[in-house]
């Protein structure tokens, strides 16, 4: 029997961020940044253009600093693999307002679609469970996304991890701003921190 078609990454992220409310979003470099930008520009988005492996930890520092806001890291399997130890760190810290969402196509998309460890059999959801994350969800269809979406806005019950199975293949690039100082100041201003 044929597998159901995997989710389009753009549609998946758009659905995830609909009615995002108070959500603060950190994106992993590459396609995840483009997906979140394409879903709607927002000063509460902080797009990474480098720092590979750091997205989840930026989310942790932010979630600890802003305990009354839900924080979501949206990244790819390759980016999360490079910072795989951060899942253990996040679990050990038991931060309740943080969710890590991995868009998993089993490939390193930015560099020519080489097969990633995830594509070679590693199970990020199992690793997240093994790291001790409180809540781990596997999502492979729009219903799964719709069921999960409200939990993104919770400021308790975390740390959560969701692996979204997305389709492989090229998607048109949508490029967010690249100036890190601009992105930083815009984000902090959104939180009411004066830019000096």
Partner 1 sequence: MNIAATADVAVQTDWPNAIYRTLKAHGVSQVSYVPDAGHARLIELSHGDDAIQTTVLTTEEEGVALSAGAWLGGSRAVLLMQSSGVGNCVNMLSLMASCRIPFLTLVTMRGEWAEFNPWQIPMGKATPQALEIMGVTVFRLDRPEDVEEVVSAACSLAFESDQQIAILISQRMLGRKKWTETK
To partner 1, the closest distance from the beta carbon of 132 in angstroms equals 13
Segment lying near partner 1 (by CB under 8 A), choices 50-58, 113-121, 156-164, 167-175: 50-58
Candidates 13, 39, 58, 124: give the one binding partner 1 (CB under 8 A).
Answer: 58
Segment lying near partner 1 (by CB under 8 A), choices 13-21, 32-40, 60-68, 113-121: 60-68
Rounded to the nearest angstrom, the gap between the alpha carbon of residue 184 and the centroid of all alpha carbons in its chain is: 18
Regarding 191 and contact with partner 1 (CB under 8 A), the answer is yes
Regarding 59 and contact with partner 1 (CB under 8 A), the answer is yes
Asked if residues 100 and 162 have their Cβ atoms less than 8 Å apart, the reply is yes
To partner 1, the closest distance from the beta carbon of 72 in angstroms equals 13
d(CA 51, CA 32): 14
Regarding 26 and contact with partner 1 (CB under 8 A), the answer is yes
Segment lying near partner 1 (by CB under 8 A), choices 32-40, 83-91, 143-151, 168-176: 83-91
Rounded to the nearest angstrom, the gap between the alpha carbon of residue 51 and the centroid of all alpha carbons in its chain is: 14
d(CA 183, CA 57): 17
Give the residue with the Cβ less far from partner 1, 7 or 55: 55
Regarding 47 and contact with partner 1 (CB under 8 A), the answer is no
Binding positions for partner 1, rule: CB under 8 A: 24, 26, 46, 48-66, 83, 85-86, 88-89, 92-93, 180-181, 183-184, 187-188, 191, 193
């Amino acid at each position: 029997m044929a597998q159901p078609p995997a989710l389009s990454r753009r549609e998946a992220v758009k659905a995830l961020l609909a009615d995002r409310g108070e959500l603060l979003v950190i994106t992993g470099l590459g396609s995840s940044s483009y997906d979140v930008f394409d879903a709607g520009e927002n000063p509460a988005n902080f797009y990474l253009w480098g720092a590979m492996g750091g997205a989840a930890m930026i989310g942790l520092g932010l979630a600890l600093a802003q305990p009354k806001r839900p924080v979501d890291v949206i990244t790819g399997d390759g980016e999360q693999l490079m910072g795989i130890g951060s899942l253990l760190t996040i679990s050990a810290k038991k931060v309740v307002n943080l969710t890590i969402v991995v868009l998993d196509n089993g490939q390193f998309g930015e560099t020519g679609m080489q097969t990633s460890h995830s594509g070679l059999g590693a199970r990020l959801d199992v690793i997240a469970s093994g790291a001790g994350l409180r809540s781990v969800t596997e999502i492979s269809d729009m219903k799964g996304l719709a069921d999960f979406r409200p939990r993104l806005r919770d400021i308790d019950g975390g740390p959560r991890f969701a692996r979204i199975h997305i389709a492989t293949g090229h998607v048109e690039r949508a490029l967010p701003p690249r100036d890190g100082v601009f992105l930083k100041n815009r984000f902090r201003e959104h939180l009411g921190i004066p830019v000096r």
